Copies of this chain bind each other. A is one copy, B any other.
Amino acid sequence: MLNIAIYNEFKHEREVEECKAIYPDGIHAVLADFLGKGLDCSVSTFTLDNVNTGLNDEVLSKTDVLLWWGHMAHHMVSDEVAELVYQHVLKGMGAIFLHSAHMSKPFIKLMGTSCTLRWREAGEKELLWVTDPTHPIAHGINDYIELPQEETYGEFFDIPTPDSLVFVGWFRGGNVFRSGCAYRRGMGRVFYFQPGHETHPTYKHPQIQKILLNAVKWAAPMRRIDNLECHWETTAPESEK
């Protein structure tokens, strides 16, 4: 059984009518619902109200995969939590960063770049194309997914070269975006996935849910290690030496 943790800021959905209408219980509730139905798992959710106390070392030690959605309050997540998330990914925890989480503290820390991009809230149509159909995250996904409205994200997206570029997004207004990017970091696996603006019902789309179910399975750790410290070797492997 997988232990899944979800962090969702949960500010837009309480403060903005448009978002409240789509996600009355928050984006995390929708994520928890379809993940819980699709996987043999237990799901814990955290919001800005309790992330700095609740998402602690003990919880992360038991977490197989963490999903992260944040936007206007990245700075209100403590540096300690960001550091903890970062360290647990390096030890083997999977992490999936959603939409505007490209600017979250732990994602930037894992990438080592600015993670900036172009953006425009125009409610444009997005077509999400599969560029690596052999990747486990693209399993069961058609050639492309149509999202009637999404926030436009555009290149240049300042990230390191992905280990696998799984999806590229097309936006009606003229932009392209590397929308699905898979990385390994330490013992952990990281996936960035662009769709999911708070004013559109993206996370209710069956194919988007399928992608996230795939991503959780892909990111789940094969093994965890407790210590990646530098270590002195007293003997060489080459024993006859």
Residue of B nearest to A239 (CB): B174
Report whether A175 and B236 are in contact in the complex, using a CB–CB cutoff of 8 Å.
Answer: yes
CB-defined contacts of A170 to chain B, threshold 8 Å = 170-171, 174-176
Report whether A119 and B237 are in contact in the complex, using a CB–CB cutoff of 8 Å.
Answer: no
Contact flag A236-B176 (CB < 8 Å), given A155-B129, A189-B134: no
Residue of B nearest to A222 (CB): B139
Q: When chains A and B are docked, how far (Å) is the Cα of A110 from the Cα of B120?
A: 28
A117 within 8 A of B: yes
Report whether B118 and A231 are in contact in the complex, using a CB–CB cutoff of 8 Å.
Answer: yes
Looking at A133, A178, A228, the one whose CB has the most chain B CB atoms below 10 A away is A133
Chain A 196-222 residues near chain B, CB threshold 8 A: 222
| Interchain residue pairs with CB less than 8 A apart (24) | A112-B112, A114-B228, A116-B228, A117-B230, A119-B232, A124-B236, A127-B176, A129-B155, A131-B156, A132-B161, A134-B187, A139-B223, A143-B156, A158-B186, A160-B160, A161-B164, A161-B165, A168-B176, A169-B176, A170-B175, A172-B241, A173-B236, A173-B241, A175-B237
A-to-B contact residues, CB < 8 Å: 86, 90, 103, 109-114, 116-120, 122, 124-125, 127, 129-134, 136, 139-140, 143-144, 146, 152, 154-158, 160-161, 163-165, 168-176, 178, 183-189, 222-223, 228-234, 236-238, 241
